[in-house]
Structure 1
Amino acid sequence: MVGSTSHQNDGYALAPEDPNPPRRRSTLLSVCPFILGNEFCERLAFYGLSTNMVMYLTRVMGEDSGYAAVQLNLFEGTCYLTPILGAWLADSLWGRYFTILVFSIIYFIGMIMLTLSASIPGLTPPPDLYPTELQSAALYISLYVVALGTGGIKPNVSAFGADQFDEADPADRREKTSFFNWFYFSINLGSLLAVTVIVWIQENISWAVGFAVPAVCMALAVMVFIAGSGRYKHVEPSESPFSRVFKITWAALRARRRAAAAAAAVFPDGDNTSGSARNSLHSNGQRVRFDPMPTIYSMGRGESESSYSLREPFLPHNNNTTTAIIDNRDVDGTTTAGTGNSNGYTTMADDGVNSAARKASLAWMDSALEARSPGGALSFTRQQVEEVKLVIRMLPIFFPTILYWTIYVQMGSFFVVQGAHLDRTVVLPKGLGTFEIPAASLSMINTLAIVGLIPFYDKLLAPALRRAGRPLTLLKRIGWGLVVCLAAMLCASYVEWYRLKLFSEGHVIGSAQGNGSVVDMSVWWQVPQYLLIGLSEVFTSIGQMEFFYDQAPDVMRSCSMALQLLSVAIGSYLSGAVVWATQIVTSKLDPFGFGWLPKDINKGRLDLFFLVLGGLMVINILHFIHVSLKYEYKAVEHIKRVAPRRLPSSGAGGGPPRPRTAPMPSTAPSAAHPAVARRIQGSAADSPAPQPYGRSVTFLPQTPAMPAPFR
């Protein structure tokens, strides 16, 4: 009978005449636990490895404090660089599921190698001796295998979790917000267990066991992720924005070289032609000037006193139109007529987004519009070139944020070394004895500070400033974070100066496991510097993430968010370079050859090193103020597309589905959507078609407020 037959709907056999079909399974409860379990185990493994690594390098491997800090900085920098590779593979070739799986296995292999390097006799040096080449190779190869493994997980797990939810389903939309809450809870729980339980095992039982536990956790992460394979939804890979940025930039540079060769042929050396004529070429009756040197940005006022303009280096400007080279092709490749101006150049009237990008962009990249595929078709549209420009225009803000991360990573290296030379004894209540806090465990103060300060900023400080008429823009937020970071360095320098003073006066209570004496000074003196670093994250780290996310075109979000990861990576590498240079220079100036950062910091001047970092931050803050005062926010709405869903009939007050647009932020207007460069209104037909870009390293909740190291 027809009434007894059934059909498949979302995996369930439903009778057509059944007025109350069974409820579909909850995505959050049936699918996401496998993803959340993977993330929890992976983060516990990572922080169980990295949080106390500087102590392993100095105590077990016998390295100097400075050398240990350099190696840790290089490792952490690589951990934030490889996610760009992982995001590209997921978006372009493998998809997120296969990328996460492959890199999780690589990660696990690295953890096994690290555990073996700490367990097998002969792979660690005897006490008070430096490691051999074999011993160093066993350790560092395993670390960089782990760094490679984390590159495929960090940028893809949150996006893969978001893939599981159907935007057309109201229940799924609600559950997706809950997913991100549980996602960040898993991260923080894994981190908390790592900096307490795992670090305690390493300090009090053995390093081999302390590395074996994270390795077991990583094995569980792989197994849990595989266990959910039959339930996952998959998004097919497409072209990555990273590929598009590279292709357009490369095409523009090649076109410039060809133009330079043509200019050299027309005006050979020794020609008496004037410079202005020599820099002018003619094509189809249009005069186009050529500037042989591309520039990222030039400092100077734009159309308003407060604007920050990425100047086109070879085109005139006026207050009414934005001048640009026009190739007589519209966004879709069709031919349009340009308008002329009194200077004889072809101009394009201000059309919103695209003209804003050209006004503050690298005009030399317009050369990419002439690139052609092997079949002779044009390779890139105006829209695609403008998207890349809008990403590149954020570079002047990107560069000053690098030094923030250079200072931030000191929390995992020299803050821990400093804490190991302080009194870490805690008296337990009711006569239960004493307990020695691992120096690395103090980093949980930073985490707790962030958890407490984010609601304070979001619910109290920011609204109060808005009511007072002094709202914090994103750039102001970043700038104040840099100032707080400077205060953290000054605080750490003072603590170290006072610690050395007590040491010189003989206030010593014990040994720091072969690396010098412990000073009779409580480790709680370090609390303010950890709190200040946490406060700086609330301002700079989260502000930087929101700035890059907000000021990029929608389809290039992953490139803009990659700038966040890249700034952490470069900052970590820069920290290693600064530490290395400081120790080299100061050891030559020190008559005893210890330098500022020796194995026993009681013989060094770590306080002066912190002051050097503070001095660099002062210069960095001045530069940041200079560029941020000239930056012009882009005030065009982003487009938020959702799948169509059933609405009430028109008689019930409903109507046809309309596109949903995200509200424009009040403090920092969003970047332009790169398609048509106009405010989106009206029906769905007005919206440009979705672009085939991947979105790894971009998927964030509505309030992307989470501690920086956990992203």
Structure 2
Amino acid sequence: MADEENVYHESDNKVQDILGLGVEADFVDWRGRPCYANKGGGVKAAAFILVAQSFDGMALIAVQNNLITYLYSDMHFSVAKSANAVTSFVGTAYLLSLAGGFTTDSFLTRFKTMSIFSGVELMGYVLLTAQAYFPSLKPPKCSINSSSSMDCQEARGVQIGVMLLALYLIALGSGFMKSNLLAHGADQFDQRIPHQKKLMFNFFNWAYFGICLGSVVALTFLVWVQDNVGRFWGFGISAAAMFIAFLTLVSGNTLYRNKIPKGSPLTRILQVLVAAFRNRKNQFTPQENKTTCLQLSTQLGFLSKAAFKHEEDGDSHPWRSCSVEQVEETRRFLRILPIFGTTIVMNCATAQLQTFSVQQGSTMLKTFGKRFELPPASVGAVPLVVLLFLVPLYNLYFVPFARRFTGHPAGVPTLHRTGLGLIFSAASMAVAAVVESKRRSNLTQLSIMYLVPQFFLSSLAEFFTKVGLVEFFYSESPPEMRSMSVALNAASVALGYFMSSLLVSLTNYATRSRKNIGQSVVQSGGWLSYNDLNKDHLNWFYWLLSGISVVNFFGYVFCALSYNNSSSIATFPQVKGDQNSDGVLLQQEEEGGENVIKLDGVSIKSN
């Protein structure tokens, strides 16, 4: 491994010497100085971000997973009101990631944004812990399941205000963290250098390992603490985990490479769309550009009109004529949106599995031996423990092996990896349908371990699809829009949660039936309307989800084939003495499984 590292760095230094990659103008260090190649960033800086992400995820998942129980048992909300509150909280947290991505791409560096909003998230956990501790901030205790439950007083006034403030401070902070942690970690690797680009893809895999590790702790230890020791201690540990995440993040400040924000990406996109519309009747004459080798691509050809040059304007107005670079940035961002859209169904299936599997587990045999009992909410931790072993094996052994055949830095190309995850998602729904059919027809209680296979397949789906999407969004989006593009992954989760609620309502509406009894018409509920799994047809609903997932997969294949992922081409300024040329074209290709960089006819093998 040491010899391989030396080969990589010797190759990287050759590339830097020939191309003059000493300074990277778009990145600065903690003092605001330009970053140099192989200076700052790297694995050490990324390690701080991985640890911060693990503790941040642990805190959020612990609260999210047990929130419905807290609202029902402690705040005395109804089951329906509790479920809606949880859905709104989770959906808002993920949707706010888009706002976080927009903020960092436009105004603040990722580190400054995360430093501010990790503090906001910490305030939310502290406030939630305080509510669990002080009796005046929650309604009086009562047994909500007893015959006297009518006397239970629901939280109101200041109590609800404190709860909502705490939850949405957490949602705000978490949303801004989600869109920036992975992007900031990837920023620590210089993509101009082949070896560091491979390390960037490895970082995404290790990031998922950190998510799994935090989730296992949250779904086992922290769930047990909240249920058996008390909400105060459970929420308090989440607050402590968030504090550790904050400290870890700021401790790496002096090592980080920080991407300089370039202004509002949405404004740049709107300028292209408006200019293309205003120039729709003009004969296209692209602006000449002396500093780039970019050429307008043919996809979304109507956008090319935005680069129409108005001779009478002199200095072009940004809402009438845009540069070729700006048009291509917009085109690249819009082209990834269909891929984003085809992943929402997978997140919808995951949301349904997490919701109904807990209900399934409550009707199954949960004891092992004489003492050990597995809580239904902790079943999802079992496949995550398996993934804790599989992810390192995948990263250390499978990726280098696959890289020999595909030549791709990630081993498996990102679009292939995402598609594989969608297949696992459809399979998890089919397995869930079979298990539910067996549970309904079995005369004796099934073991709760029957739920593990569907969770395992769902976890594989998340590993391949979500990591593949982050790799795809980061590497294929314009550098000026990377935070917002990575945030699309979280936005897909949010839309999946909202879609899951809508799908249940539509299914119940479409499957309800009417029967004529005498002179009256009796209307029966749909597949999921009885609040009793032995009367509902959850197995049929899972089959429906599996079918929708299969159709969605073919839609994804169509979008992926249409994407036409071209070879990576970048432009670098060429300097000869004191004279600057128009630029030279650097192209990285794969020849015989090796990375080859071609520069004006000179080939450099990077490994």
Matches within 5 A, 1:212-291: 212-226=236-250, 231=254, 233=256, 235=258, 237-240=260-263, 243-253=264-274, 256=277, 281=281, 288=282
Q: State the structure with more CA Rg.
A: 1
How far apart, CA to CA, are the structure 1 residues paired with 2:331 and 2:160?
A: 44
Q: Does 1:441 align with 2:396?
A: no
Which structure carries more helix by proportion?
2
Aligned to 1:542: 467
Report Cα offsets for 1:195-224 as digits up to 9, x if no partner.
Answer: 211011122222332222102222343345
Aligned to 1:191: 215
Tell me the TM-score normalized by structure 2: 0.71
How far apart, CA to CA, are the structure 2 residues paired with 1:199 and 1:331?
A: 59
**Cα 1:596–1:475 shift into 2, 3 Å:** same
How far apart, CA to CA, are the structure 2 residues paired with 1:167 and 1:637?
A: 11
Aligned partners of 1:333 and 1:381 also within 8 Å: no
**Cα 1:417–1:58 shift into 2, 3 Å:** farther
How far apart, CA to CA, are the structure 2 residues paired with 1:228 and 1:89?
A: 22
Match of 2:330 among 388, 411, 417: 388
Tell me the TM-score normalized by structure 1: 0.62
* Count of residues paired in the alignment: 531
Q: Does 1:412 align with 2:354?
A: yes
**Cα 1:462–1:133 shift into 2, 3 Å:** farther
Q: What displacement does 1:571 show?
A: 1.9
Matches within 5 A, 1:614-629: 614-629=546-561
How far apart, CA to CA, are the structure 1 residues paired with 2:55 and 2:441?
A: 43
Report Cα offsets for 1:253-290 as digits up to 9, x if no partner.
Answer: 3763x579xxxxxxxxxxxxxxxxxxxx5xxxxxx4xx
Q: What displacement does 1:177 show?
A: 9.3
1:361 is aligned with what amino acid?
L
Match of 1:329 among 283, 287, 302: 287
Report Cα offsets for 1:331-383 as digits up to 9, x if no partner.
Answer: 3599xxxxxxxxxxxxxxxx9x634x2x21151463365799x9953422022
Aligned partners of 1:27 and 1:164 also within 8 Å: yes
Matches within 5 A, 1:461-540: 474-502=414-442, 507=444, 520-540=445-465
How far apart, CA to CA, are the structure 1 residues paired with 2:454 and 2:358?
A: 12
How far apart, CA to CA, are the structure 2 residues paired with 1:178 and 1:450?
A: 16
SS at match of 1:83: helix
Matches within 5 A, 1:196-211: 196-211=220-235
Matches within 5 A, 1:520-669: 520-553=445-478, 556-582=481-507, 596=528, 600-629=532-561, 631-639=562-570
How far apart, CA to CA, are the structure 2 residues paired with 1:193 and 1:466?
A: 36
Q: What displacement does 1:166 show?
A: 9.0
**Cα 1:170–1:371 shift into 2, 3 Å:** closer
**Cα 1:163–1:389 shift into 2, 3 Å:** closer
SS at match of 1:446: helix
**Cα 1:664–1:616 shift into 2, 3 Å:** same
Aligned partners of 2:121 and 2:174 also within 8 Å: yes
SS at match of 2:218: helix
How far apart, CA to CA, are the structure 1 residues paired with 2:207 and 2:469?
A: 21
**Cα 1:448–1:30 shift into 2, 3 Å:** closer
Aligned partners of 2:399 and 2:412 also within 8 Å: no
**Cα 1:632–1:90 shift into 2, 3 Å:** closer
Aligned partners of 1:203 and 1:438 also within 8 Å: no
Q: What displacement does 1:425 show?
A: 1.1
How far apart, CA to CA, are the structure 2 residues paired with 1:31 and 1:461?
A: 22
How far apart, CA to CA, are the structure 1 residues paired with 2:564 and 2:181?
A: 31
Aligned partners of 2:209 and 2:391 also within 8 Å: no
Aligned to 2:138: 123
**Cα 1:362–1:563 shift into 2, 3 Å:** farther
Aligned to 2:12: none
How far apart, CA to CA, are the structure 2 residues paired with 1:415 and 1:182?
A: 28
SS at match of 1:423: coil
Aligned to 2:101: 87
Matches within 5 A, 1:71-110: 71-110=85-124
1:621 is aligned with what amino acid?
F
Report Cα offsets for 1:597-624 as digits up to 9, x if no partner.
Answer: 5655445433333233223223323433
1:495 is aligned with what amino acid?
V
SS at match of 1:330: coil
1:637 is aligned with what amino acid?
S
Q: What displacement does 1:250 show?
A: 4.6
2:274 is aligned with what amino acid?
L
2:429 is aligned with what amino acid?
M
**Cα RMSD over matched residues?**
4.9
1:563 is aligned with what amino acid?
L
Percentage of matched positions with identical amino acids: 28
How far apart, CA to CA, are the structure 2 residues paired with 1:528 and 1:35?
A: 32
**Cα 1:90–1:375 shift into 2, 3 Å:** farther
* Unaligned runs of at least 5 residues, structure 2: 1-28, 31-37, 515-521, 576-583, 603-607
How far apart, CA to CA, are the structure 2 residues paired with 1:405 and 1:456?
A: 26
**Cα 1:572–1:173 shift into 2, 3 Å:** closer
2:63 is aligned with what amino acid?
L
Q: What displacement does 1:84 show?
A: 2.5
Aligned to 1:426: 368
**Cα 1:546–1:259 shift into 2, 3 Å:** closer
How far apart, CA to CA, are the structure 1 residues paired with 2:276 and 2:378?
A: 54
Q: What displacement does 1:437 show?
A: 1.4
How far apart, CA to CA, are the structure 1 residues paired with 2:474 and 2:353?
A: 26
Report Cα offsets for 1:522-564 as digits up to 9, x if no partner.
Answer: 1100011011112323443333334434544555544543333
Report Cα offsets for 1:228-250 as digits up to 9, x if no partner.
Answer: 66x4556374215xx23443335
Q: Does 1:360 align with 2:299?
A: yes
**Cα 1:387–1:26 shift into 2, 3 Å:** closer
Aligned partners of 2:187 and 2:259 also within 8 Å: no
Aligned partners of 1:370 and 1:378 also within 8 Å: no
Aligned partners of 2:91 and 2:494 also within 8 Å: yes
Aligned partners of 1:252 and 1:366 also within 8 Å: no
How far apart, CA to CA, are the structure 2 residues paired with 1:71 and 1:51?
A: 13
Q: What displacement does 1:42 show?
A: 1.8
1:189 is aligned with what amino acid?
L
Report Cα offsets for 1:145-199 as digits up to 9, x if no partner.
Answer: 2111012222333554566789999999999999878766654433322121101
Q: Does 1:155 align with 2:86?
A: no
1:354 is aligned with what amino acid?
Q
How far apart, CA to CA, are the structure 1 residues paired with 2:338 and 2:290?
A: 30
Aligned partners of 1:584 and 1:595 also within 8 Å: no
Aligned partners of 1:35 and 1:157 also within 8 Å: yes
2:423 is aligned with what amino acid?
V
**Cα 1:45–1:610 shift into 2, 3 Å:** same
Aligned partners of 1:66 and 1:599 also within 8 Å: no
Q: What displacement does 1:593 show?
A: 6.4
SS at match of 2:372: strand
**Cα 1:113–1:597 shift into 2, 3 Å:** farther
